[in-house]
Amino acid sequence: MSSTSPEAQHLVRLSGVTKTVHVGLRRRPVTILHGVDLAVGHGDVFGLIGPNGAGKTTTVKVLLGLMAPSGGTVALRVDGLGAVGYLPENPYFYDYLSGREFLSFCARLFGLGAGERKARADSLLRDVGLEAAADVHLRKYSKGMLQRIGIAQALINDPQLVLLDEPMTGLDPIGRIEVKRIIQRLHDQGRTVLFNSHILTDVEELCTRIAVMKGGRIVWSGTVAEALADSPEGLEVFFMRAVGAEPGAGFGDGRPAVVGEMPS
Amino acid sequence: MNQVVAIALNTFRETIRDRVLTVIVLFALVMIVAGLWLGSISLEQQGRMMKDFGLVAVTGFGVIVAAFIAATLVRKEVEKRTVFVLFSKPVSRAAFVGGKFLGLAATLAAVIGGMGLFLFVLTLLVGGGASGMVLVATALIYLQVLTVVAVVVFFSTVTSAILASMLGLGVFVAGQLSHNVLSLSRVGAGALTEAVSWVVFVVIPNFNAVDVKAAAVGEMTVDWGSVALWAGYLVAYMGVALAAASFVMRRKEF
Amino acid sequence: MRRWLAPLAVAACVAVVVGYQATRPARAASDPRVFVPSATFFEDFSPGYRTSIADVYYLYMVQYYGEHIETDQRLDSMAALVDLVTRLSPRFTRAYQFGTFALLDADEGAKAYEILQRGVEANPEDWNLPALTGFLVYGFGKGAEKERIAAEWYARAAAVDGSPPYVARLAAALTAKGGEKEKAALMWAQVYADGDKYSRAKAVTALDDLLPEGREERMRAVAPLAETMPEATFEEFLAALFEDYL
């Protein structure tokens, strides 16, 4: 995979983004994001990786405007939410709708006309391999089928930027292969993809750039090649070092690993 | 507007298939037919009994549907996280609230309209003649029920579904006692009591300004001007409740 | 064996449920004195459901009457029930009608009269209620004035559009019985003017008894009656009235 030129204008830029929530009866402040700096270039397949509770999903939500940042800036160089597609983690859709009805509903939210809705739905159902199940209710879809219809609804508006939160979670090997093919196709079409994942082999295979999150901070970002240069044993080892999970954690060049857990 | 229509249609599809709704509607129809039995012990007053008790059944079941289904409209989307799918698209919180409301309004139009029509036909066939006022009364009951829906939708944005339902039912009952609150505000029990009573009177919806059932059974003639004014008041009240719900939703994070 | 145990147990339970209910003894007659809230209470707390509550109490009233008239003949709370129903639903004419006869059975004719008067005020377009009031006064009233008062009620009923001819005839007859002969004559003349063939025949018969026998006196007595009808009708009226004098 080729990476974008560092000088290219970033499609997504988060600068010093913080997010604090107030929990419990006493409204105790808990900081989830501690000054996140993130830049995603045009055409990148960007992988955001980190342990559970690192703040990956929160970062995506802040990007989408589902949560407002407590500090910092979020810059999205796209044409509003109309140019963004999003697949949430463990998606649940309206199980009384069929696949086709659900895509038509999503298309209508973007103001597409009846003819265009039908055309887009049919085309996407073909692209994600759900043509045969188009008129089956979503409650009868398998996990893999739900992920695929989820990707389809994320693409219904022909978005520039596609955000996928754990797109491979819970899929069997065939399901994972299908989703990886879809992501590859998105990249080939020139779209920018940002996805969170725990499956580092997939990240290594698909991504042009990655960022490692721990404790609400970006502890490392760069290209996959740079990561592998640091840790030729593979991305898993690199990741373990980056999050300080290995004995003698830290990088050989003296860069400190981040220690400590995210406050809970 | 597209978003409102899309969400409304989706909500209509969701609620009209709800099994709870089917049970409630069937029960309401049974209650209406029970008016036939009541009529048989009323010394030839079957028509009046059927209209009166039938309209009470339509009101009661309409309010129950409103309270319990409306409360889950917003909650379910948040709990099942379908809000992520919606709000990651260019859908405003107001469009979401409006669409949810309109979708359930469409379902209730079918349910309450169906019950009202059933009652009308029943009184026509076995009640010694039907009056168009039954249909007018049904329409006004529909407006009352929609007001309860709007109130419950608001409560569901700030509290749990079950509490929102209970509060909605409470508001419906309080609305029936609206005139008592007005009396309290004019009773001369002290400026604070009167002021608080007046505020409560304005805040709770006024559901007894027009006695629709009395008109349907011929107890009184209808002042169409008053009815139109009352209908306009209820629509405005719904607008305020939904605006409040939208405001709360705008400040919510998911 | 085990397979049959569950259905057998269910069947046994069903048998117990049905058997228990089937063997309950008939309920002893309830107390004739029942608690009846005031109409004000319901008007204050549920104005939107006034008619529904009236209907519930109407049904209760009918059952209450039926139960007690068959057993102890005690209708102690009848007046309170009729009062409540008619106050909550003043245009529920059936309630007045049933209530009147029930109150008569309860020996509360005066209460029935009071309630009927309210009913007449609330239902000005209904001739039944003033006619019923007239019936109540004439049939169950006491005193020398009862015919006159009953006649007034029937006259009031006759003045309502749609009242049947017999009501006007009753009004006239009772007026005569009450001793107001001139007024009665006028009323019979009105009956003749407005009535059908049967009413006219009745009017002529009644006036024959009311008017003086002498031809001259009769002519004088009849003259004012010309005001009550058109000229052509009056000529027919005179012809019928003076048939025997020709």
For chain A, give every domain's residue range. Answer: 6-77+190-264, 79-159
Chain A interface mutation, best of B72, B85, B251, B252, highest count of A Cβ atoms under 10 Å: B85
Chain A interface mutation, best of B11, B75, B89, highest count of A Cβ atoms under 10 Å: B89
Distances (CA, A) of A8 to A11, A84, A218, B43, C237: 9, 20, 21, 89, 117
Chain C interface mutation, best of B182, B219, B220, B221, highest count of C Cβ atoms under 10 Å: B219
Q: Is B204 left (phi over 0), alpha (psi -120 to 50) or beta?
A: beta
Task: Work out how many CB contacts closer than 8 A connect A with B.
Answer: 71
Record: contact C91-B52, CB cut-off 8 A: no
3-class SS at A194? Answer: strand
Record: contact B87-A92, CB cut-off 8 A: no
Query: In the predicted model, what is the mean pLDDT of chain B?
Result: 87
pLDDT value of residue A257: 39
- As a whole number of Å, the end-to-end CA separation of chain C is 107
Is the pLDDT higher at B47 or at A258? B47
| Mean per-residue pLDDT, A163-180 | 85
Chain C interface mutation, best of B52, B181, B206, highest count of C Cβ atoms under 10 Å: B52
Chains C and B touch (3+ CB pairs under 8 A): yes
Distances (CA, A) of A135 to A125, A130, A231, B7, C212: 11, 10, 48, 20, 99
Alpha-carbon distance B253 to nearest alpha carbon in chain A (angstroms): 5
| Mean per-residue pLDDT, A59-85 | 87
Q: Give the mean pLDDT per block of 10 residues along chain C (246 residues).
A: 87 92 76 85 78 92 91 92 95 95 94 95 95 94 89 93 91 88 88 87 88 84 84 86 77
Look at residue A100 and tell me whether its pLDDT is greater than 60: yes
Distances (CA, A) of C62 to B45, B244, C82, C97, C100: 12, 50, 10, 12, 12
H or E element, residue A56: helix A56-64
Alpha-carbon distance A213 to nearest alpha carbon in chain B (angstroms): 21
Query: In the predicted model, what is the mean pLDDT of chain A?
Result: 83
pLDDT value of residue C220: 85
Is the pLDDT higher at A173 or at C1? A173
Record: contact B87-A65, CB cut-off 8 A: yes
Pairing label, strands A209-214, A45-49: parallel
Q: Give the CA angle between residues B109, B118, B177 to the nearest 5°.
A: 60
Half-sphere exposure of C246 (CA within 13 A, CB side): 6
Is the pLDDT higher at A259 or at B45? B45
Domain that holds residue B24: 2-250
Pairing label, strands A209-214, A192-196: unpaired
CA atoms of C94 and C123, how far apart (whole Å): 12
* Facing residue for A92 by CB, picked from B80, B91, B254: B80
Look at residue B41 and tell me whether its pLDDT is greater than 90: no
Among A87, A173, A166, A174, residue whose Cα is nearest residue A124: A87
Look at residue B9 and tell me whether its pLDDT is greater than 60: yes
pLDDT value of residue C246: 65
Q: Sign of torsion, CA C85 C89 C90 C92?
A: negative
Look at residue B172 and tell me whether its pLDDT is greater than 90: yes
By percentage, how much of chain B surpasses pLDDT 90? 37
Alpha-carbon distance B10 to nearest alpha carbon in chain C (angstroms): 35
Q: What is the DSSP string of chain C?
A: -HHHHHHHHHHHHHHHHHHHHHTPPPPPPPPS------HHHHHHH-GGGHHHHHHHHHHHHHHHHHHHHHTT---TTHHHHHHHHHHH-TT-HHHHHHHHHHHHHTT-HHHHHHHHHHHHHH-TT-SHHHHHHHHHHHHH--STTHHHHHHHHHHHHHTSTT--HHHHHHHHHHHHHTT-HHHHHHHHHHHHHH--HHHHHHHHHHHHHHS-SSHHHHHHHHGGGGGGS-HHHHHHHHHHHTGGG-
Phi, psi of A171, deg, nearest 5: -90, 150
Phi, psi of B190, deg, nearest 5: 120, 150
Q: Are C60 and C87 in contact (CB under 8 A)?
A: no
H or E element, residue A116: helix A114-127
| Mean per-residue pLDDT, A27-39 | 90
Q: Which of residues 157-176 of A touch B (CB under 8 A)?
A: 157, 163
Comparing alpha-carbon positions, the chain B residue that sits nearest to A69 is B253
Is the pLDDT higher at B40 or at A215? A215
pLDDT value of residue A251: 44
| Mean per-residue pLDDT, A225-240 | 83
Chain A residues touching residue B82 (CB < 8 angstroms): 92-94
Look at residue A249 and tell me whether its pLDDT is greater than 50: no
Record: contact B84-A91, CB cut-off 8 A: yes
Interface residue B41 vs chain C (CB under 8 A): yes
Among B205, B195, B2, B232, residue whose Cα is nearest residue B95: B2
| Mean per-residue pLDDT, A219-234 | 85
CA atoms of A88 and A93, how far apart (whole Å): 10
pLDDT value of residue A245: 66
Those residues whose C-beta lies under 8 Å from the C-beta of residue B210, and which sit 6 or more positions away, are B140, B226, B227, B230
Record: contact A61-B254, CB cut-off 8 A: yes
Chain C residues touching residue B207 (CB < 8 angstroms): 48
Interface residue B89 vs chain A (CB under 8 A): yes
Q: Residue B156: which pLDDT band, with cuts at 50, 70 and 90?
A: very high
Q: Residue A202: which pLDDT band, with cuts at 50, 70 and 90?
A: confident
Phi, psi of A40, deg, nearest 5: -120, 125
Alpha-carbon distance B75 to nearest alpha carbon in chain A (angstroms): 14
Q: Are C127 and C162 in contact (CB under 8 A)?
A: yes
Q: Are B57 and B83 in contact (CB under 8 A)?
A: no
Distances (CA, A) of C149 to B235, C113, C180, C181: 54, 12, 12, 15
Q: Residue B108: which pLDDT band, with cuts at 50, 70 and 90?
A: very high
Look at residue A3 and tell me whether its pLDDT is greater than 90: no
> What's at A226, amino acid-wise?
E
Interface residue B56 vs chain A (CB under 8 A): no
> What's at C82, amino acid-wise?
V
- What is the assigned CATH class of domain A6-77+190-264? alpha beta
Interface residue B40 vs chain C (CB under 8 A): no
This model of the complex carries an ipTM of: 0.81
Comparing alpha-carbon positions, the chain A residue that sits nearest to B93 is A66
Q: How many domains does chain B have?
A: 1
pLDDT value of residue A259: 35
CA atoms of B77 and B73, how far apart (whole Å): 7
Interface residue B220 vs chain C (CB under 8 A): yes
Q: Are A19 and A33 in contact (CB under 8 A)?
A: yes
CA atoms of C60 and C43, how far apart (whole Å): 19
Record: contact A108-B6, CB cut-off 8 A: yes
* Helix boundaries (H) for chain B: 2-16, 19-40, 46-79, 82-87, 93-126, 132-158, 161-176, 178-185, 191-203, 212-216, 224-250
Record: contact A92-B88, CB cut-off 8 A: no
